[in-house]
Amino acid sequence: MKGSMRKLPSLAREKWLNEPRLQKVLGVLNTGGQTRIAGGAVRNALMKRPISDVDLATTLSPTDVMQLARGAGFGVHPTGLEHGTVTVVNRAAAFEVTTLRRDVETDGRHAVVLFTKSFEEDAARRDFTINALYCDSRGQLYDFTNGYADIRRKRIKFVGVAAQRIEEDYLRILRFFRFHAAYGKGRPDATGLAACKKLRKGLTQISAERLRQELLKLLVAQGAVAALQVMAKAGVLGQIIPYTDEWRVMKRLPTDDILRLTALAKEPEDLKEKLRLSNAEADRIKAALSAPQITPSLREKERRALLYHLGPQAWRDSVSLSWARSRASLADAKWKKLLRLADRWIKPVLPLTGKDLLSVGFQAGPDMGAALQKAEDYWIVSDFTSTREDLMRLIKHE
């Protein structure tokens, strides 16, 4: 029922839709054209999922959007004018407003677009049917791609011809699996999967930054591990990173993107460059990999010493990885206690400082550094019980 509104539910009573700041923006923009909520907010409302961002699609040109918004006293930020996107802010609520468009030229990474007045043309250029629904200010749905039926079936389908959608932007291969992991059920759509498998080498054209963003989102989706297994079998995952087949370990890990990525990657030390990870992300992986295996067999004193050296995050990561790779149940009380140690233990502070050593004749430099390190090692071995006086005596007798 192309473009038909029959048999579609109404979102009229949705709290998010009736939020006054959104309704005010819609009211202002609808004085000059037609503006509707598009994509993710509509999809999530129909699937009873949380809604974060509300994006709008409009028949207005970006210039008209800015003029009307400024006239109403809204904040205006031209955040993506080349694609027709303006961010409109009403009392701290931000809405991306994008002019309806159609692709006239694509190269697998970027698209040249022309603006249009047709919501149907705009829907035809979107990636998946579940992302191609619109909702007006009164809650009436507009479905030009049979997306509602796919939402009900929890099926991720490309809009139109799958291969054509992928060739417009090869990142849609990864998005197909990410959306299936987050919103799908059962096996992926056979037609979409076949197209992804056939065109998988196109992923080499995609920037590391875009791959990283999609992969990290996929890793925390509900069906992440099953989707990754399908990707591996189809030859798609290997186009992104060399991977292990520790699927059991992956299933047993917490829902954490960096932790799961650490277990997934065959060469985790190369991920910073390969996926353009941030310094913090790369450092976290390095720390988790360099940590010794931690198990409940460690004595309490040994646990505290390791936690002191590793820090809370590396401790949690190392325990989580060791636990996932063990044969222990995920309900094991001993492992739970081990993991919680980082939450309830306050890191002690070495009671000896450089000023203390200066007072007994040390000069700033390597000798002082070595003395402080010796004192710290002794203090750790004492289970952090040695006092300043104990450590000063140790240094003096050297």
20-153 has which fold? Beta Polymerase; domain 2 (3.30.460)
CA distance 73 to 95: 14
Give percent of the chain above pLDDT 70: 96
| Strands 75-80 and 85-90, sheet pairing | antiparallel
- In terms of phi and psi (left: phi > 0; alpha: psi -120 to 50; beta: otherwise), the region of 154 is left
Structure tokens at 101: 């468009």
pLDDT at 233 over 70: yes
Could you tell me which residue, 5 or 211, shows the higher pLDDT? 211
Encode pLDDT of 291-316 as tens digits: 888 999 999 999 999 999 999 999 99
SS3 97: strand
CA distance 158 to 170: 13
Could you tell me which residue, 188 or 367, shows the higher pLDDT? 188
- Name, in order, each residue with C-beta under 8 angstroms of 393's C-beta and a sequence gap of 6 or more: none
Instruction: Return the minimum-mean-pLDDT range out of 26-40, 44-58, 211-225, 383-397.
Output: 383-397
> DSSP string of 261-326?
HHHHBSSGGGHHHHHT--HHHHHHHHHHHHSPP--TTS-HHHHHHHHHHH-HHHHHHHHHHHHHHS
The confidence score (pLDDT) of residue 303 equals 94
Prediction pTM value: 0.88
The confidence score (pLDDT) of residue 2 equals 46
Encode pLDDT of 144-180 as tens digits: 999 999 999 999 999 999 999 999 999 999 999 999 9
Encode pLDDT of 254-302 as tens digits: 999 999 999 999 999 899 999 999 999 999 999 998 888 899 999 999 9
On average, the pLDDT of the chain sits at 92
From the number of C-beta atoms within 10 Å of its C-beta (0-12, 13-18, 19+), residue 45 rates as buried
From the number of C-beta atoms within 10 Å of its C-beta (0-12, 13-18, 19+), residue 171 rates as buried
Could you tell me which residue, 369 or 283, shows the higher pLDDT? 283
Task: Give the H/E segment covering residue 350.
Answer: none
pLDDT at 22 over 60: yes
The confidence score (pLDDT) of residue 104 equals 63
DSSP 205: G
- For the chain, the domains span 20-153, 162-271, 300-344, 354-396
Question: How many beta carbons lie within 10 A of that of residue 72, not counting itself?
Answer: 16
Question: How many beta carbons lie within 10 A of that of residue 119, not counting itself?
Answer: 20
| Nearest Cα residue to 332 out of 296, 299, 368 | 296
Encode pLDDT of 77-123 as tens digits: 998 888 899 999 999 999 999 999 887 655 555 566 788 999 999 99
Assign 202 a pLDDT band (cuts: 50, 70, 90).
Answer: very high
Domain 162-271 in the same topology as domain 20-153: no
Structure tokens at 336: 């739970």
Cα torsion for 366, 367, 368, 371, to the nearest 10°?
120
Q: Which whole number is the average pLDDT over 3-10?
A: 69
Helices 366-381 and 388-396: crossing angle, nearest 10°?
Answer: 130
Beta partners for residue 87, in sequence order: 77, 96
CA distance 309 to 379: 13
User: What does CATH list as the number for 162-271?
Assistant: 1.10.3090.10
In whole angstroms, how far apart are CA 9 and each of 42, 212, 231? 11, 36, 34
Q: Which whole number is the average pLDDT over 112-139?
A: 93
